[in-house]
Homo-oligomer: A and B are copies of this chain.
Amino acid sequence: MKEKTDILILGAGPAGMISALTALKYYPDKQITVLKSVAKGVVPCGIPYMFSSLTDPEDNELDTTGLEKKRVRVHIDEAVTLERAKKTVLTLSGKEYSYEKLIVAVGSKPIVPPIPGIDKEGIYPILKDMEYLKQMVEKVRSGGNVLVIGGGFIGVEFADEVSKIPSCKVRLVEILPRLLSRSFDPEFSCEVEEKLRSRGVEVLTGRKVTAFLGDKKVTGARFENGEEFAADRVILGIGAVPNTELASLGGIELRKATGGIWVDEYMRTSDSDIFAVGDCAGKRDFYTHKDTSVMLASTATAEARIAGANLYSLKVVRENKGTIAVYSTYVDGLVLGSAGLTGYSADKEGFETITGSAEGMDKHPGKLPGSGKLKVKLIFSKQSGTLMGGQVSGGISAGEMINIIGMAIQQRVSVSELETLQMATHPFLTAAPTKYGIVVAAQDALSKMR
């Protein structure tokens, strides 16, 4: 069966949805069709919270009915072949869609490492599919030993959430010596480790899984050092790779280092009628313009806005400054945020830096009810004084504080500008103006530059 559409969007995750919504605004006369590979999608960053905080996992649905109300066609189907010469896409259900403009927003695929026994029942990669996740939730909620593999954001959040289920004993395994090491320096990683331990999670860093044990069903895992741990359920949170099969089949250029789809400043691929956005699209680093593999819903939606606006003509001129990673996470009340380079990643890349730190309370005076600790670290270029990265830990307010730092990095703000920043302070909301973390950390760095 043949279908004709003006704008065809492959994928209905955050990148696909925002592409559609933006295209609707900029090109109101065009027919838009979205192909959704699963019947019900999920809010990606909400997945861990389906296991405990959300009583009903269905509350984490990424609902596309809003698109349909705005006359976007949403079909449950998946593209399998791309014929660029004919400007058509063939789907799993056998349909042929012709398009004027195509947006590839097919996301990423979880990494499933080739460990012996990885295909046993009870071992779960994270798929963005409501039906799959609902079954996983049911199993995990039934209790037992849960092994979470991977000490990045997903692994840490899963460990925290599953530890809230009283009948579960959680172990978190990380191959590197500490948790969240890609986004945080050691003084922040240790806060998360301490918090997880205080919740009864056994944190096993510097451990490599060499085999999963059991017959048909997983019963445990063996580590390289010979240790063995019982496991009724294993959750794989070790990252993802760009989903580029279709693009590759269609002969679209990929980026070499990361394998993402090559895109220009306006998210156009090597075929200028085809755009790629989100996890499947290649990213360039903000500091070096080298390839980088940041996969964040917030980056994806920013890219989708650029693509959606520029489909038929370049309406929104922009400098693609490159991607900085701006993350936050939440572990039982402890909030951690990271933006840009860490001390470790700056060193590794060869940047000469100076860091500044501040520790204080997140309200003032500190005796106000609900006050908690707040820690800020800023990383500056030693000679130019430009902000290159920052990390924050604290309570709820740290979640938006990292976005102040993210904004400052994107604007290439200098240490002197931060030292004399004009900001709102309030007893119930921030540190005192004399002790505002970002300003104090900037001052600390400045004093080291003198």
Q: Which residues of A contact B (CB under 8 A)?
A: 14, 17-18, 25-26, 43, 45-46, 49, 53-54, 56, 59-61, 296-302, 305-306, 316, 318, 323-324, 326-330, 335, 337-339, 364-365, 367-369, 395-404, 406-408, 410-411, 413, 416-417, 419-430, 432-434, 436, 439, 443, 447, 450
CB-CB nearest 3 A-B residue pairs: A399-B429, A400-B400, A328-B424
A318 with B432: in contact, given A324-B422, A337-B424, A407-B421 (CB under 8 Å)? no
For A54, A365, A395, which residue has the most chain B Cβ atoms within 10 angstroms?
A: A365
- Counted per complex, copies of this chain come to 2
Does the CB pair A424–B301 fall under 8 Å? no
Choose from B14, B56, B324, B421 the contact partner of A432 (Cβ within 8 Å): B14
Given A397-B397, A399-B397, A326:B422 Cβ within 8 A? yes
User: Known interface pairs A339-B424, A421-B407, A429-B399. Does A54 touch B365 (Cβ–Cβ under 8 Å)?
Assistant: yes
Chain B residues with CB under 8 A of A433: 14, 45, 296-298, 300-301
- Cβ-defined contact, B430 with A400, below 8 A: yes
A316→B397 contact, CB < 8 A: no
Q: Which of A299, A339, A404 has the most CB of B within 10 A?
A: A404
Query: Are the C-beta atoms of B447 and A25 separated by less than 8 Å?
Result: yes
Instruction: Say whether A436 contacts B298, CB under 8 Å.
Output: yes
Could you say which residues of chain B place their CB within 8 Å of the CB of A426? 45, 327-330, 399
Contacts of A54 in B (CB 8 A): 365, 367-368
A428 contacts which of B25, B330, B369, B425 (Cβ < 8 Å)?
A: B330
Contact at B306–A429, with CB atoms within 8 Å?
no
Give min CB distance, A198 to chain B, whole Å.
Answer: 18
